[in-house]
Amino acid sequence: MPKTTTSLRRQLILMVSMVLICINVLALWGAHIYANRATKVSYDRLLYGAALQMAENINILDSQVFIDLPVSAFETLALSNSDRAFYAIMGRQYQVLTGYNDLPNIPFTQLLLQSTEKEKFTPIYYEALYHEENVRFVALGKRLLEADKVNDVFIIVGQTLGARQAAAAEINRMALHFVSLFFVITLLLLLFVIWRVLRPLQAIKQAITERSPLELSPLETNVPSEIAPLLKSINYFMAQLDTTLERLKRFTAEAAHQIRTPLAGLNSQAQNAIDETDEVLRQKQLQHILESSNVLTNTVNQLLNRATLTHRYQSHPFSPVSLDQLTKDTCRDLVVWALERGVEIEYVGDIKATIDGDEFALKQMLQNIIENAIKYSPNKGLVEVELMSANELNDAAVVLQIRDQGVGVPDEDKEHIFEYFYRSPDNQASGSGIGLSIAKEVAEHHDARFHLKDNEPTGLIVEVIFPKRTLPKNRYPKPKGARL
């Protein structure tokens, strides 16, 4: 079972929701700061306006301060119905001329400093606890001029914070409603966008689901450029699967045909051997059974090797392979079998060559070609294996030649010799007709070319030409023919 994770749609919705929540929290925090600042500025202006109106109605005559508090100043403060207002008008000696005489935290130091510097009075805002309530105060000075005398008075006006807090809460509430509506609408729009973005994936899924298991043709679906590589990979995989299934089908049919016939022959020969009373004929029949069994074993082994190689073509990457060392090892593995058949193997390679390839597949190719050469060589024959550079060829770097001294292959059969299970009508040797076909497939898998040439005076030369990407390395002096 494939590993499953959280769906892509769910991940996108989760991430989008988290982003929206963060944005909305920041928006609410900003709205809260703005609401407090806006209400603070607005109500501070009301306080300052009331203080200015009181200041405009304070005059001095004959060194006597006259205060006529305007009704409009208290009407301004009364705009906040739920709040209470406090005021005091004081002289330089801290005496209260009118108003509340117990207002807290009056900033006399700053007011006297402004008075001493004879600069224009600027309002001083501060907050204090008065009668167990938080109160916002403004302190403002006014300079009274009479003849050569200068007298300063200070106006302190305060108001509780209920109205401004209610106004700030109202702004925050409106912001919360707006942000909530914005969150819902934006989330719905983004859900629609996610649905639209993921539709091509759903379309690919639907196209694959609706297909027959045997339908492996490429998917033709319009998808965005970002999803096109995925569709291309799926089509590539389906093409590979189609090729694999086609090979498997062909392999199964070929194997069934090639195995069924020898089995039927074995069964018939065994039955004849059981019924035969002549001991000499029975021995001949048993010998035929043994030969047929060997042919069948060889055929099955070749078919299994082919199936293994077909799998490796798609599952094993290339790696550096020492072709000269691999060729020598293959010759050594076959030398005893060749001597039993009265044939010698001679390696006459003159280069070291490293190529990128599949060592197992290359060994199967070499083994099949050399075995085929040994099988068709006469008694006391010689099979020469040579690895050489091919600088004279424009598109080749390494050439492998296997030369035998057998009867050779007629020209009319050379174009068919690589077909599976093909055997020349004049060929009397036992075999499955698979070996050279497998060898050619391995060569083509390594981008190499496979050639057949006549040997002189008799025999066949099998030549495998590897391309330039398989460059020979570290030439060393050509040794004399080494009998293996």
Annotated domain spans of the chain: 11-168, 221-315, 317-483
The answer to whether residue 470 scores a pLDDT higher than 70 is no
**Which residues lie across from 383 on neighbouring strands?**
345
List, as one string, the DSSP characters of 9-43: HHHHHHHHHHHHHHHHHHHHHHHHHHHHHHHHHHH
pLDDT the model gives residue 88:
92
CA-atom Rg of the chain in angstroms: 52
Comparing 123-137, 192-206, 420-434, which segment has the lowest mean pLDDT?
A: 420-434
Pick from 208-212, 285-289, 419-423: least confident: 419-423
Q: Is the per-residue pLDDT at 480 higher than 60?
A: no
* Banded pLDDT at 432 (limits 50, 70, 90): low
Position 185 confidence tier, pLDDT thresholds 50, 70, 90: very high
Question: What confidence score (pLDDT) does residue 128 get?
Answer: 93
pLDDT, one tens digit per residue, over 338-381 is 998 899 999 987 788 888 888 988 998 998 899 888 988 888 88
Confidence of residue 227 (pLDDT cuts 50, 70, 90): confident
Q: What architecture does CATH give domain 317-483?
A: 2-Layer Sandwich (3.30)
Residue 422's pLDDT is 56
The CATH number of 11-168 is 3.30.450
**pLDDT exceeds 60 at position 114:** yes
Contacts of residue 78, Cβ cutoff 8 Å, sequence gap at least 6: 85
Q: Tell which residue, 114, 137, 139, has the closest CA to residue 55.
A: 139
Going 178 to 179 to 184 to 187, the CA torsion angle's sign is positive
Instruction: Please report which confidence band the pLDDT of residue 125 belongs to, taking 50, 70 and 90 as the band edges.
Output: very high
Residue 429 pLDDT exceeds 60: no
pLDDT of 177 reads: 92
pLDDT winner (highest mean) among 13-27, 243-257, 267-281, 430-444: 13-27
Q: Has residue 205 got a pLDDT over 50?
A: yes
Per-range mean pLDDT, top range of 135-144, 343-352, 416-425: 135-144
Same fold, 11-168 and 317-483: no
Is the pLDDT at 89 greater than 50, yes or no? yes
Res. 215 pLDDT band, cuts 50 70 90: confident
Q: Give burial (CB, 10 Å; 0-12/13-18/19+) of 392.
A: exposed
Q: Which of 61, 68, 56, 51 is closest to 145 using CA atoms? A: 61
Q: What does the pLDDT read at residue 37?
A: 92
DSSP letters for 435-481: HHHHHHHHHHHTT-EEEEEE-SSS-EEEEEEEETTS-EE---PPPPP
Please tell me the predicted confidence (pLDDT) of residue 433: 61
If you average pLDDT over every residue of the chain, what do you get? 81
Predicted local distance difference test score (pLDDT) of residue 124: 92
Place of tokens 């379309």: 203
**In 3D, which of 291, 273, 290 has the Cα closest to residue 282?**
273
120 φ/ψ angles, rounded to the nearest 5 degrees: -65, 135
The pLDDT of residue 156 is 93
pLDDT at residue 29 above 90? Answer: yes
Report if pTM > 0.75.
Answer: no
Average pLDDT on 189-213 reads: 80
